[in-house]
A = this chain, B = another copy of it.
Amino acid sequence: MAKPAVLIGVDWGTSAFRAFLLDAEGGVLDRRAGSHGILTVTDGDFGRVLSSQVGDWLKARAVPILMSGMIGSRQGWIEAPYVPCPGGLADLAGGLVTVSLARTPIHVVPGMEVSSPSMRDVMRGEETQVFGALTTLGGADGGRFLLPGTHSKWVRVSGGRIMSFSTYMTGEIYAACRDHTILGRLMQDGESEAAFARGVSDGARPGTPGALLHRLFGARTAGLFGEIPGSDLPDYLSGLLIGAEVFDAGLNDDTAVHIIASEALARRYRAAAAKLGLTTAVLDPDCVAAGHLAIARAARLLPM
């Protein structure tokens, strides 16, 4: 007999929507996923979209809903102010902001912020994935986590609290360079592990931050002189940027890095990390559901 549902966890980002119907053990009874990211909800009627996705689950049994991601940003349903680092499950639970859909309470997880003397950094949604990953790893209370993508996040956890994190605009700079600079001119569609590896080597050399502005031009000249074929240039550029990122973020200690990412993206980062001597393990992004359950439990939203 199936265990009863106790929570609906929703990871609602800029471009994607994922919902999980969860039992008290974190088992996923049902799931929904689509491209209804918050940017697609142009009329601001997030309730309508949510109903269309999970309304049937609610009809069967009224359970609370916990949402993480950009849905809690100024551009989302309601803004949930950032919780500062270091912060753990209790801090996220204490920062929940609540709206309602018909008579169902909807709890929105806050993002997190961290300040260094030179800059602030923020995330929304990744904190829930990280706490889910800790559960998935058998209740670990520390480690290093990497959530690669448009804005890669490197997150450090200790004693059950997120101590600090750093964002790298790697994916977005890749796309901007490819589509909107001279680097894209000689590029053709194609894939090449060798070109990616060469890019990692070139990107992961020592230098100062400005050297990146110089090395990027190397993706132009290597194409110009026919040293790298046009169809290999996209992966060379990808390697150059990911190599620079992993070299900067990854090599300050030798703790293993848990990569939370889809298989294709994780493979890319694993290859770069391995080339640089870093140990990695990969976790499925669906671990976010375990994070929803852990936060809901910390907020006493579930039956005891």
Taking CB atoms, residues of chain B closer than 8 Å to A211 are 209, 248
Complex CA distance for A224 and B113, rounded to whole angstroms: 11
**A244-B208, A244-B213, A246-B210 in contact; A221/B180 too (CB < 8 A)?**
no
Q: How far apart are A304's CB and chain B's nearest CB, in angstroms?
A: 38
Complex CA distance for A189 and B166, rounded to whole angstroms: 28
29 A/B residue pairs, CB under 8 Å, sorted by A: A113-B221, A118-B218, A119-B222, A121-B218, A121-B221, A151-B182, A152-B213, A166-B214, A167-B214, A167-B217, A168-B213, A170-B213, A173-B177, A173-B181, A173-B213, A173-B216, A175-B180, A176-B177, A180-B180, A208-B247, A209-B209, A209-B248, A210-B245, A210-B247, A211-B248, A212-B212, A212-B244, A213-B245, A214-B249
B-contacting residues, A104-148, CB 8 Å:
113, 118-122
Is the pair A224, B122 in contact by a Cβ cutoff of 8 Å? yes
Is the pair B181, A216 in contact by a Cβ cutoff of 8 Å? no
Is the pair A168, B209 in contact by a Cβ cutoff of 8 Å? no
Complex CA distance for A181 and B211, rounded to whole angstroms: 21
Complex CA distance for A208 and B247, rounded to whole angstroms: 8
Secondary structure class of chain A's binding surface, majority of residues: helix
- The stretch of A17-25, A199-207, A277-285, A293-301 in contact with B is A199-207
Is the pair B121, A248 in contact by a Cβ cutoff of 8 Å? no
Taking CB atoms, residues of chain B closer than 8 Å to A206 are 208
Complex CA distance for A180 and B174, rounded to whole angstroms: 11
Is the pair A207, B205 in contact by a Cβ cutoff of 8 Å? no
Taking CB atoms, residues of chain B closer than 8 Å to A181 are 169, 172-173, 176
Taking CB atoms, residues of chain B closer than 8 Å to A227 are 120
Q: A215: CB under 8 A from chain B?
A: yes
Complex CA distance for A176 and B175, rounded to whole angstroms: 10
Q: How far apart are A146's CB and chain B's nearest CB, in angstroms?
A: 13
Q: How far apart are A288's CB and chain B's nearest CB, in angstroms?
A: 22
Is the pair A212, B209 in contact by a Cβ cutoff of 8 Å? yes
Complex CA distance for A206 and B209, rounded to whole angstroms: 7
- Seen from chain A, the residues whose Cβ lies within 8 Å of a Cβ on chain B are 113, 118-122, 151-152, 166-170, 172-173, 175-177, 179-182, 202-203, 205-218, 221-222, 224-225, 227, 241, 243-249
Q: Nearest 7 A-B pairs (CB), nearest first? A: A210-B248, A119-B218, A210-B244, A209-B212, A176-B176, A168-B213, A120-B221
Q: A169-B181, A179-B180, A212-B212 are in contact. List 11 more A-B contacts (CB 8 A).
A: A120-B221, A121-B217, A121-B218, A176-B177, A206-B208, A207-B209, A208-B244, A209-B248, A210-B243, A210-B247, A214-B248
**A176-B180, A180-B180 in contact; A210/B118 too (CB < 8 A)?**
no
Q: How far apart are A170's CB and chain B's nearest CB, in angstroms?
A: 5
Q: How far apart are A220's CB and chain B's nearest CB, in angstroms?
A: 8
Name A120's contact: one of B152, B177, B180, B222 (CB within 8 Å). Answer: B222
